[in-house]
């Protein structure tokens, strides 16, 4: 296996990781910012007030984008497995 193939696989896997995790991370960050602004204005410093809504929003986003994430992972896995024949022969 050449170095170019390894670098390409590594680069593609990093891209997939970033793209698939982005919706959950961005939604969690937005909700965290909204709740932080709410806590700053009301001076309520309850830790569960920030944790529970984030967890719920990330779970909902995961449910909405789950089929797309699985489809992307399956396509990448099929691509990597198809490279086995190319690498061996």
The Cα 58–Cα 55 span in angstroms is: 5
| Reported pTM | 0.78
* Number of domains composing the chain: 1
Higher pLDDT, 84 or 32: 32
Query: Given pLDDT bands bounded at 50, 70 and 90, which one contains residue 1?
Result: low
Query: Given pLDDT bands bounded at 50, 70 and 90, which one contains residue 89?
Result: low
Domain that holds residue 31: 3-88
- For residue 11, the tally of other CB atoms under 10 A from its CB is 10
3-state secondary structure string across 16-67: HHHHHHHHHHHHHHHHHHHHHHHHHHHCCCCHHHHHHHHHHHHHHHHHHHHH
End-to-end Cα, the chain, rounded Å: 10
> Per-residue pLDDT for 68 more than 80?
yes
Query: Given pLDDT bands bounded at 50, 70 and 90, which one contains residue 65?
Result: very high
- On average, the pLDDT of the chain sits at 90
């Amino acid at each position: 296996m050449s170095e170019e193939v390894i670098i390409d696989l590594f680069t593609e896997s990093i891209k997939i990781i970033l793209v698939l995790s982005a919706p959950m991370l961005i939604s969690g960050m937005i909700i965290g910012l909204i709740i932080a602004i709410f806590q700053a204005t009301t001076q309520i410093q309850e830790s569960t007030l920030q944790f529970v809504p984030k967890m719920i929003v990330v779970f909902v986003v995961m449910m909405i984008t789950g089929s797309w994430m699985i489809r992307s992972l399956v396509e990448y896995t099929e691509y990597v497995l198809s490279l086995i024949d190319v690498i061996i022969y």
